[in-house]
Chain A
Amino acid sequence: MTQKIRVSCSKSNLKTIRDFVNSVLGEHEIPDKEMNLIIVAIDEVCSNLIIHSHSCNSADELEIRITSESENLVFEIIDQGEIFNITDYSVPTMEKVIKNKKNGGIGLILVKKIMDRIQIEKNEGLNVCRLYKSLAR
């Protein structure tokens, strides 16, 4: 089953996205701590797109789709425009982040630690960031 939401590229919509992910994941038996980490990962990808790819331009939109098949969750974050390929960025270490006194990179560290796989696809003018998470233990 796939559920989706479409929001404009405004930082205030990150809350809307978190609430949507929370409500979809609430249909599964996921421990609170794990569910929160998944919400954080989606929040990080969406905030990167909203802030860096779309400069918080509320005329632009993101679509978030969540597909669940048994114990596997697939999150797709779809936008148009210049692609922001998070898999192109090397993940800094926390030591480096702390030394630089900047928070750039923490979101990427979180996404890569939380999700099982990240795939980026450009298809007919649409950019798709696909994140996979297995709930199997």
Chain B
Amino acid sequence: MQMELKTQKEGDFYIIKIKGELEASSSVQLDDAIQDVIDQGGSKILFDCLELSYISSPGIGVFTSRIEDHEEGTLSMALFGMNDKVFNVFKILGLDKLLPIVTTKDEAKPLI
């Protein structure tokens, strides 16, 4: 399955819905979508991972390349709805300690 992205605005939040496989061929699209939000002046991004079926290092890299911005507060990010397989890839790298990863959108919003 190819990856599909959809960005929606809810108040201050931009929600990027990721559907499909985030890997070598598709990760650039997500990076571009994040940059589009930043270019529009957005600074709070929620990643809807409910339909994210697979992730490998290029996909992980999209998030790690922005962790410093997240820690400095210039860009706030949270991820929600990940399945166990995808979460396990974040966890093995220790990224579950560096990024807010929760189950639902409502849990994610107060975190950023």
- Chain A residues engaging chain B, CB cutoff 8 angstroms: 11-12, 14-15, 18, 32-33, 36-37, 39-40, 43-44, 47, 51, 94, 97-99, 101-103, 106-107, 109-110, 113-114
Contacts and interface: CB of A to CB of B under 8 A. Distances in A.
Contacts of B61: 97, 102-103, 106
Nearest to B67: A98
9 contacts: A36-B85, A36-B89, A40-B55, A43-B56, A44-B57, A94-B93, A97-B61, A102-B61, A102-B65
Contacts of A114: 92
B56 A113 contact: no
A22 to B, nearest CB: 10
A11 B85 contact: no
Interface string B60-88: 11101111100000000000000011001
B48 interface: no
Nearest to A113: B92
Nearest to B97: A94
What interface size band does chain B fall in?
A: 20 to 34
Contact of A110 (B21, B23, B67, B92): B92
A36 B89 CA distance: 9
A14 B24 CA distance: 8
Main secondary structure of the interface of A (DSSP, over half): helix
B57 A103 contact: yes
Contacts of A99: 68
A64 B61 CA distance: 25
B21 to A, nearest CB: 7
A94 B95 contact: yes
Given A36-B85, A94-B93, A44 B68 contact: no
Contacts of A44: 56-57
B100 interface: no
A116 to B, nearest CB: 14
B14 interface: no
A94 B21 contact: no
B63 to A, nearest CB: 9
Nearest to B60: A106
Contacts of A106: 57, 60-61, 64, 93
Contacts of A15: 21
B84 A33 contact: yes
